[in-house]
């Protein structure tokens, strides 16, 4: 059975129609009575018609004033809803926050159900038939299409003819089996990227009118703005953490002392090389101290990495480290945060080098559709999965520990996610005794100039 929610706007619309009918009846009655003329026999009818007309006029006056009152109430209700949803959305898209927001949003619509999703699954559902859409259910095809297109869509399902697809969500195969036959799906946009959806479910297609579409779009815009505010807060926190960790790396004493000791020893055996190394060391630390969270071209980051290797080669021996680079097309111009590649190369030098023999380090930069992949491969000692997970999880080492410049892979991963968003991150593949490959994925980072070249 279809249940319709009664709102003040609906009541006002119905009363307006009845007012129009009563006004016409009263005017016709007055015209008829005036054509008869006023006498004692029809005086009571004339007075009655006049009273009806006066009542209609008075009622009409109050109705004329009602829209402003309704608008005032709607504005107050909207502000209250914005304040209440912001309390939860400032914590991000979590199941708890989304459930609270759905509770707030549902009464503001004519929908029978409201859901919020991220890019993978349903986070919360409130309304009728809740067991059909439990949190954790994978996103359906219409939802994935909205996430891909970034546009609001409606969906309509049909009555299922067979029961061979039991357990499949109603929207998954376009069939209706106890779920809602129609609905609206609106993307939640942050930094020009869909990060989730708002879904409104209805029992009848007649309920989806222009008002409901406007409400859905407005609610999604409101939630997107609040999520954008949350993302800015997260980025500010990550920036502060990254700057503190970078500062720890910049003043790490062991890397400084080891390099100075190497230079000191070379002043006796090879003064020219000592002078060149001192110049390289000066350039390295100047760039380190000048670096910030603003992005730099990848070629500049690779140049800083080569300077670091020059210093380490002076310490361990020129033949102990062999570094090669392979960069596809114009990808050297990709803008990246500083300390992106150098910490990975540093990990290879400090943890993968054998007691004897050379360590080969290969840096490959390629594109994967619109993503940029930066892979740092070495043929060193390698590691097992447990060590790799610990390497990604650990915080930066204290300034007093012997860990090179001290920037951990976790810091690199956090900055990648901050700058490049969903789909970005780090992957470690390693085998003890054979080597390690660390791959960075920078989502949607291929330069526009390179895309034009491909199109041509």
Residues 109 and 71 in one domain: no
Residues 257 and 330 in one domain: yes
Residues 35 and 109 in one domain: no
Amino acid 77: pLDDT: 60
Residues 202 and 104 in one domain: yes
Specify the number of domains making up the chain: 3
Phi–psi pair at 166, nearest 5 degrees: -60, 140
Neighbours of 70 (CB within 10 A): 15
Q: Is 38 inside a domain boundary?
A: yes
Q: Which distant-in-sequence residues (6+ apart) come within 8 Å of 184 by Cβ? A: 111, 152, 153, 154, 199, 200, 202, 208, 212, 213, 216
Out of 69, 89, 109, a domain closes at 89
Residue 38, domain extent: 1-89
Amino acid 17: pLDDT: 52
Residues 220 and 134 in one domain: yes
pTM over 0.85: no
Burial of 200 (0-12, 13-18, 19+ CB in 10 A): buried
Q: Is 318 inside a domain boundary?
A: yes
Q: Is 179 inside a domain boundary?
A: yes
Residues 217 and 364 in one domain: no
What CATH number does the domain containing 185 carry? Answer: 3.30.450.40
Amino acid 79: pLDDT: 63
Out of 207, 234, 261, a domain closes at 234
Beta bridge partners of 377: 362, 437
Q: Is 245 inside a domain boundary?
A: no
Phi–psi pair at 302, nearest 5 degrees: -70, -35
Residues 97 and 65 in one domain: no
Burial of 282 (0-12, 13-18, 19+ CB in 10 A): exposed
Q: Is 113 inside a domain boundary?
A: yes
Residues 5 and 139 in one domain: no
Written as tens digits, the pLDDT of the chain (456 aa) is 434 444 444 545 455 555 555 555 555 555 555 455 544 445 555 555 555 545 544 445 444 444 555 445 555 666 667 777 777 777 788 899 899 999 988 888 889 999 999 999 999 999 887 667 788 889 988 999 999 999 999 988 754 444 334 444 544 444 334 468 889 999 998 878 898 999 999 988 888 888 888 888 888 888 888 887 767 666 666 665 555 555 555 556 677 888 888 889 888 888 998 998 898 888 887 777 665 556 789 999 999 899 999 999 988 888 999 999 999 988 999 999 888 898 899 889 888 889 888 999 999 999 998 999 999 999 999 988 888 877 776 654 443 444 443 456 777 888 888 788 888 989 999 999 999 999 999 998 888 766 655 555
User: Measured in whole angstroms, how far is the alpha carbon of residue 405 from the centre of its chain?
Assistant: 32
> Which of 45-65 are b and which e, b meaning 16 or more Cβ less than 10 Å from the residue's Cβ?
ebeebeebbeebeeeeeebee
Residues 95 and 75 in one domain: no
Phi–psi pair at 106, nearest 5 degrees: -50, -45
């Amino acid at each position: 059975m279809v249940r319709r929610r009664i709102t003040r706007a609906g009541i006002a619309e119905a009363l307006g129609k009845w007012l129009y009918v009563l006004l016409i009846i009263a005017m016709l009655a007055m015209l008829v009575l005036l054509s008869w003329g006023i006498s004692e026999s029809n005086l009571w009818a004339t007075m009655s018609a006049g009273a009806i007309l006066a009542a209609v006029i008075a009622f009409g006056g109050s109705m004329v004033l009602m829209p402003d009152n309704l608008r005032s109430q709607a504005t107050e209700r909207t502000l209250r809803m914005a304040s209440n949803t912001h309390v939860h959305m400032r914590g991000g898209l979590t199941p708890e926050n989304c459930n609270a927001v759905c509770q707030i949003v549902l009464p503001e619509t004519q929908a029978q159900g409201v859901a919020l999703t991220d890019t993978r699954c349903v986070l919360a559902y409130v309304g009728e038939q809740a067991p059909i859409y439990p949190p954790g259910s994978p996103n359906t095809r219409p939802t994935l299409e909205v996430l891909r297109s970034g546009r609001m869509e409606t969906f309509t399902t049909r009555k299922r003819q067979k029961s061979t697809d039991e357990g499949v969500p109603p929207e998954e195969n376009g069939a209706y089996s106890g779920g809602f036959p129609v609905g609206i799906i609106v993307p939640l946009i942050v930094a020009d990227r869909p990060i989730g959806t708002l879904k409104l479910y209805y029992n009848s297609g007649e309920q989806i009118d222009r008002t409901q579409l406007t409400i859905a779009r407005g609610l999604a815009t409101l939630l997107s703005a609040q999520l954008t505010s949350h993302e800015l807060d997260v980025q500010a926190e990550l920036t502060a953490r990254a700057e503190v960790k970078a500062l720890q790396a910049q003043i790490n004493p062991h890397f400084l002392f080891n390099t100075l000791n190497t230079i000191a020893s070379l002043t006796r055996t090879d003064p020219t090389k000592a002078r060149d190394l001192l110049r390289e060391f000066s350039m390295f630390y100047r760039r380190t101290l000048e670096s910030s969270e603003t992005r730099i071209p990848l070629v500049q980051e690779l140049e800083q990495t080569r300077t670091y290797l020059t210093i380490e080669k002076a310490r361990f021996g020129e033949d102990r480290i062999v570094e090669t680079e392979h960069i596809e097309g114009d990808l050297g111009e990709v803008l990246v945060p500083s300390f992106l590649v150098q910490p990975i190369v540093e990990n290879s030098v400090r943890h993968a080098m054998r007691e004897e023999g050379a360590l080969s380090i290969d840096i490959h930069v390629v594109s994967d559709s619109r993503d940029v992949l930066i892979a740092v491969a070495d043929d060193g000692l390698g590691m097992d999965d447990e060590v790799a997970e610990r390497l990604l999880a650990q915080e930066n080492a204290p300034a007093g520990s012997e860990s090179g410049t001290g920037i951990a892979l976790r810091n690199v991963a956090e900055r990648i996610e901050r700058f490049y968003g969903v789909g970005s991150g780090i992957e470690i593949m390693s085998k003890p005794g054979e080597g390690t490959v660390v791959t960075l994925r920078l989502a949607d980072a291929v330069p526009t100039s390179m895309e034009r070249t491909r199109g041509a």
